[in-house]
Chain A
Amino acid sequence: MEFEELQAAWSAMSTELKNQKKITDKIIIDMTKQKYKSKYSTAKTLESLASIVCFGMAFYVIINFGKLDAWYLQVLGVFTILFYTVFPILSLSALFRLHNLDLSQDYSRLMIDFRKRKKWFLLVQQLSIVLCFILVIAALPVAVKISKGKDLLLQSSTWLWYVPFAMIFLFFFTRWGYRCYKGMTNSAEQLLSELE
């Protein structure tokens, strides 16, 4: 089939479709509303839940900050509060930037814009993974001091099992999580390569 024949078949299909208008006002309104709801409910449920947990933790440390009586516990407390407040905001905003991509711009601009937003999103994830390892160490003495009044940094026995266990768990968990995000970017990269 030559290109001209392809075009002729395509025009015949277009003419036929023009005469077969099936969409109604109600269908258009319904599909728009349905899409709007489904999009926002998924984003809200998954991302906001994680953020609420983090904000809750930060709030817990803030109201009990007075119990952290040593300077090093206060430093760890500030780090914990910052982590639990800054990262959910960063992560949520990076995700919403991805969702709110302007799809009315041309293809090449869209792909470049998309890659920038994805890069930023992945950078936030990478940074949070690194800081997560520090948080695992920082949050434990803070939590123990607040809940039990003990200074864990002066008792070495707990660290012997806690640190290796937490590190192994985090290693596999963050690797799995990051691979999921990375998978999303790979397809974007592939599409961008088609432009080159």
Chain B
Amino acid sequence: MKQKEKVFIELIKEYEGLIFKASTIYTNNKQDQKDLFQEIVYQLWKSFDSFKNQAKISTWMYRVAMNTAITQLKRSKKSPTSESFEKVVFEQMETYDAAFEENLKKVYEQINQLNTLEKGLMLLLLEGKSYQEISEVSGLSITNVGTRINRIKSKLKSKLLK
């Protein structure tokens, strides 16, 4: 195996969780999630040469993952099945905890109310990224990121009150 492939494989294994989470927030069922996961890995491989440490690895990965998700969404118009996000996540995990599943269900219910861009911002926010990093991934100004995040938070709050 070539050195480049080895490095790439190690990188994917290291950031497997990131790709998995990004692919679950943009899809509604297991098949779409698997397809998107695969597509993200492929796009990362395609842009691996041009990456060359220009940005932080995680920033580059989030960018590619989010961009792949939104371009993939435009192509696929499959109707979502009834399978829920948390079920897909739980299939990935070995342990089962009913309370944890309930919590995750709520998280995904909240995310599902957001539009495509907001979902991406929410993912980065939940991942604990700073406004600066979110700005680097999304291309929005830091002020714009702040405004949008406040809007997302109030949107979620108002949905909860209803």
Additional A-B contact list (14), CB under 8 Å, known A23-B12, A31-B37, A101-B71: A9-B104, A13-B89, A14-B21, A16-B93, A18-B17, A20-B92, A29-B5, A31-B41, A31-B42, A103-B43, A104-B51, A108-B138, A188-B74, A194-B117
Contact with B along A122-161 (1 / 0, CB 8 A): 0000000000000000000000000000000000000000
The answer to whether B51 and A107 have CB atoms under 8 Å apart is no
Q: Which 3 A-B pairs have the closest CB atoms?
A: A106-B139, A108-B139, A35-B42
The answer to whether A194 and B116 have CB atoms under 8 Å apart is yes
Contacts A28-B12, A106-B138; A3 near B47 (Cβ below 8 A):
no
Task: Please tell me the size bucket of the interface on B.
Answer: 35 or more
Roughly how many angstroms separate A187 CA and B9 CA in the complex, as a whole number?
33
A172 vs chain B, min Cβ distance (A): 23
Residues of B within 8 A of A28 (CB): 8-9, 12-13, 41
Q: Name A's B-contacting residues (CB within 8 A).
A: 1, 3, 5-7, 9-14, 16-18, 20-23, 25, 28-29, 31-32, 34-36, 39, 101-111, 114, 184, 187-188, 191, 194-195
- B interface SS class: helix
Contacts A10-B107, A10-B126, A29-B9; A17 near B17 (Cβ below 8 A):
yes
Residues of B within 8 A of A18 (CB): 17
**Could you pull out 14 A-B pairs where Cβ atoms are within 8 angstroms?**
A1-B110, A9-B104, A11-B128, A13-B104, A31-B42, A35-B39, A35-B42, A103-B43, A107-B66, A107-B120, A107-B138, A110-B67, A187-B73, A191-B74
